[in-house]
Amino acid sequence: MITEVVVLPKGKPAYAVLITSKIDFEALQSYVEDKEVLIVTNTTIAELYLPRLERAIEKHYFKCAHCILNDGEVYKNSDSLNTIYQYLLERNYTRHCVLIALGGGVIGDITGFAAATYQRGVSVIQIPTTLLSQVDSSVGGKTAINHPLGKNMIGAFFQPKLVITAAEFLTTLPQREFFAGMAEVIKYGCIVDVDFFVWLEKNVVLLQQRDSKALIYAIAKSCELKAQVVARDEEEKTDVRALLNFGHTFGHAIECCQNYQGLKHGEAVAVGMVMAAQLSVELGFIKEAVVARIISLLQAFSLRVMLPGGFTKNEFILAMLRDKKNTTTGITFIVLDGIGRAKVDKSVSKDRLSQFLEQYF
């Protein structure tokens, strides 16, 4: 059984997000017409799934190779990007090739950016293998690499040709990675769908146990909600797509201050969501009870809800000031009017932010 979500970015070809219980690499054949394939993966995923993917597809292409990168957010950089370019150029890949991203968010983002820029754009297929990438980074067309001064600062909007994944991938995912991915799932309930938030509260145990049916529903619902937002504002030119960054203004600053070697992305976003919710209280938009519900659901998946140490308030503010959502008028925050209702707020000055952050430092 295949659960399908169709993404319809405005003015761009639609593409499918296919979610199955068992991994089905053979399903790629009906979607890929390109005859040159480069699989990009990392050292961890290559051992688990690369031979299986190659067996399923290599007989269909006259050119099929793989590029294995180091595993980790710290490697989401220009060196890894150039490694992909080197593979493509040394093997004379043309502009009619397709890149297949087999891995989590780091692999998906780097491979997507390589596809967007190699010979001014080639096709890319996303095969996300982590919960976080299944529900977030593989869908919507955001691609990027990190810079020492900021996360995802160098990138492009570039939609995939196909996203295909399976709940089976999550059986080999370490517990910490799985719970980090749940932060992004919870985010969708917080910002656009209170009924989904309630469903998550009621199905904590099934999700903790990685029940296949519950996971497929959670993944599909998350993709569906994200697709609805992307269809309205693909390139974040209005405030609509910015809502997907709930928790990320604080979360990205945490990652930057830790040199991408501390909390995982989902863990940092979990802390960021709590901070954004608490800011919403201070701005008079919600009550403390809303924050308590969010904290309770995050903690059900062992997610951190307090800011880690190791950096100063000034370092944290400087990192926040480099956030991509900011404008010439100041810092952009995504805040809540209630569970399932998010909005953009640009009223917080640097002084007020500094005052707000006093409780954390």
Q: Which residues are catalytic?
A: 120, 142, 184, 226, 236, 241, 245, 248, 252, 265
Tell me the chain's radius of gyration from C-alpha atoms: 20
Task: Please enumerate in sequence order all residues whose Cβ is within 8 A of that of 51, keeping only pairs 6 or more positions apart, or say none.
Answer: none
Residues 6+ apart with CB under 8 A from 301: 179, 182, 183, 186, 204, 207, 208
Rounded Cα–Cα distance for residues 231 and 241 (Å): 9
- H/E run at residue 34: none
Q: Which two tokens stand for residue 210?
A: 């990685």
Could you give phi then psi for residue 254, rounded to 5 degrees?
-60, -50
Burial of 263 (0-12, 13-18, 19+ CB in 10 A): buried
| Helix-strand-coil split of the chain, %, nearest 5 | 50, 20, 30
Strands (DSSP E) found in the chain: 2-7, 15-20, 36-42, 63-69, 98-103, 123-128, 142-147, 150-157, 162-166, 333-338, 341-345
How would you class 201 by CB atoms within 10 Å of its CB: exposed for 0-12, middle for 13-18, buried for 19 or more?
Answer: middle
